[in-house]
Homo-oligomer: A and B are copies of this chain.
Amino acid sequence: MPATTPARRTDTRPGGRSARVRAAVHQAVKELLTEEASELTIPVVATRAGVHPTTVYRRWGSVGELLADVATSRFSGDIVVPDTGSLRADLERYAADLARDLSDPDTLALVRAIVGAGGDGASVCRGERQRQLEAILEREQGRGHQAPTLERAVDALLAPLYYRAVFTDRSPTPEWARTLVTHLLPG
């Protein structure tokens, strides 16, 4: 799509160019993350995206903030929060979906890079997942039933899923993820 206004190196960025820069930079980050031994630095990202490093520094400030932005687009609304009418079935489906997502090498590379970069990325990535889990728990309470606390559900479900994905060389499988729900909701 051609720009309707000429690209300008000023602080006022027309929407079209701004959106294209963001798309190019996000794409560059995703490509670089899948390449072995490539270093994710702002100059490297800028070169790959075909934009000036200053543009990237001005807009994102650091690799950590850039990864947080990529994480926001990646993890928002990517998993449909299940609504089966049963807490156990909702949690089993959610845990299995998350296991599948974390078994994807691209997702895993992004999560690892986010953790490595420090900054806000990790809480972006965690925050979205916790909100989805909270929605499942609140729906059960809305049905007039007891549900575990969010903290307990995070410790029992999200934590083992992320730990296995990030710290071990075993992929989290949907079957194993469902056993985590059995431990959270015994009987």
Contacts and interface: CB of A to CB of B under 8 A. Distances in A.
Interface of A: 37, 39, 41, 62, 109, 112-113, 115-118, 122-123, 125-126, 152, 154-156, 158-160, 162-164, 166-169, 180, 183
A125 B163 CA distance: 12
8 contacts: A113-B116, A115-B166, A122-B166, A122-B167, A126-B167, A155-B160, A156-B156, A163-B163
Given A62-B37, A116-B113, A155 B183 contact: yes
Given A109-B118, A115-B166, A154-B160, 13 more contacts: A39-B41, A112-B116, A112-B118, A113-B116, A115-B115, A116-B116, A116-B117, A122-B167, A123-B167, A126-B168, A156-B183, A159-B163, A166-B166
Contacts of A118: 109, 112
A115 B166 CA distance: 7
A135 to B, nearest CB: 19
A39 B118 CA distance: 12
A112 B115 CA distance: 6
